[in-house]
Chain A
């Protein structure tokens, strides 16, 4: 099962940076009501650099694993670099192409991140 390789299952069952953040610089909530996935994104930004990134979510393996890997990627990035993260980079994180039906799951954390960064 390509998409469900060990790494994805691991990030799903043991998501990194999972939990609430006290005093976040930004907090955003994004929902995909069609499938019941939702995600809450927290960012702590100092001198235009993301120094901490956390998330809470209720969702499928793909959206959870993506969010987990995304928060790892964000730490240390400038706001500008973070704003430029593309859909393709998300797919690379996940290890390649995913079926069209699951793209919304993969891009949910990215949508949340972009929404958060827009407020700056």
Chain B
């Protein structure tokens, strides 16, 4: 296990009391808390280095630009991207996927083409494709998952043909916790259709297990800073250079152009072509600090820590007969996300009881309404772990669940 005593000292918010109880933050799938190091990096930027980037010939402008580009380099190294030109800073994963759907999608999807995603996608990797499919009169299809929350990969050839232009695939499901074998799926997809383009939603994976875009060999990858100890308002779209080069811009205006005339403009090179307007430099600096923090701990160690917490939770939860757990019980292919229901108690009420004891979990449909429709449940309760969570906190979660069962006389 990680040295959580030491780690927790870096997170002032964990000292907070909620309704008289110490905060037990189990909603990391929604957003993670920020260590002092990240907050101080952002403060330092604003106190000492703030200026607009790229066109500043003055010292501060140069400093800010260097910090921004250094952050880009850190991100590139973090996901093992081959080049800086493949790292585009955006606001979040949602924007990264929208950029891809708008820029790549609109120029490459035509009537009767097919877009394949999965039944377990987050709305951010569903709705943009749905809108695109409607607009282009293309077909949006869904690779199903089985009762263990695993994608039915053996059916891939039923869902991919020469008409399938793009495959959008979540790496770790934010509801089921399933770790999809993305590398294998991409290989299998390319065997059926060598021209297929692939986008991986790494919002719940890049910060929980070691990841390399070279290894996955995906064409696009999206992730977001605030789910990995970074600030809100910064995210990343990775795209292979060849594909980004031929894509038209997304947002337009300043910075993404090299020259502007009254009748035409010349786009800037990568990555600036996709970064219109003043960027979130402070956000990038914060994200860089978050990556340093995570690298110091080591992604492999984070995975081990979370796996132990998940194993511990599943082990205790499965002993409570009134609880239904969703997804696989095999932590080899499950990340630190445990979504469940207490039979006969609405998730909202579960969350209320837990909240009164200082425990923060998320309830609702977790931006996965089609997934909930398939499971035939209106909503669920989700506990999601990260580096600062402990077994003692999980004990309290279990106590809270038992208390809920008592109150509702289930």
Binding site for B on A (CB under 8 A): 1, 3-4, 9, 12-13, 34-37, 58-62, 99, 101-102, 105
Q: How far is the CA of A101 from the CA of B408 in the complex (A)?
A: 20
Interface residues on B, range: 10 to 19
**Which of B69-77, B269-277, B349-357 touches A?**
B349-357
Question: B296: CB under 8 A from chain A?
Answer: no
With A and B bound together, what is the CA distance between A112 and B373 in angstroms? 24
| A78-B363 Cα distance, complex, nearest whole Å | 38
B408 contacts A9, C-beta separation under 8 Å: yes
**B316 on interface, CB distance cutoff 8 Å:** no
Within 8 A of A (CB), among B343-393: 345-349, 352-353, 355-356, 363-365, 372, 378-379
Known contacts A13-B408, A60-B346; 14 further A-B pairs (Cβ under 8 A) = A1-B353, A4-B349, A4-B352, A4-B353, A4-B408, A13-B409, A35-B347, A35-B363, A36-B365, A59-B348, A60-B347, A61-B345, A99-B355, A102-B348
Q: Given the complex, which residues of A lie within 8 Å of B347, measured CB to CB?
A: 35-36, 60
| Chain B residues whose CB sits within 8 angstroms of the CB of A13 once the complex forms | 408-409
B382 CB to nearest A CB, Å = 13
B57: interface (CB < 8 Å): no
Q: What is the CB-to-nearest-CB distance from B376 to chain A, in angstroms, rounded to a whole number?
A: 12
Residues on B lying within 8 angstroms of A by beta carbon are: 345-349, 352-353, 355-356, 363-365, 372, 378-379, 407-409
A-B contact count (CB 8 A): 51
Q: Determine the chain A residues whose CB is within 8 A of the CB of B407 once the complex forms.
A: 1, 4, 9
Best-buried of A12, A35, A62, A101 by chain B (most CB within 10 Å): A35
Judging by beta carbons under 8 Å apart, are A62 and B348 in contact? yes
B409 touches A60 (CB 8 A): no
Residue of A nearest to B350 (CB): A60
Q: In the complex, how many angstroms separate the beta carbon of B20 from the nearest chain A beta carbon?
A: 13
Smallest CB gap from B379: residue in A: A36
- A61–B349 contact, CB under 8 A? yes
Contact A60 B349 (CB under 8 A): yes
Contact B352 A36 (CB under 8 A): no
- With both chains docked as a complex, state the minimum distance between the C-beta of A81 and any C-beta of chain B, in angstroms: 30
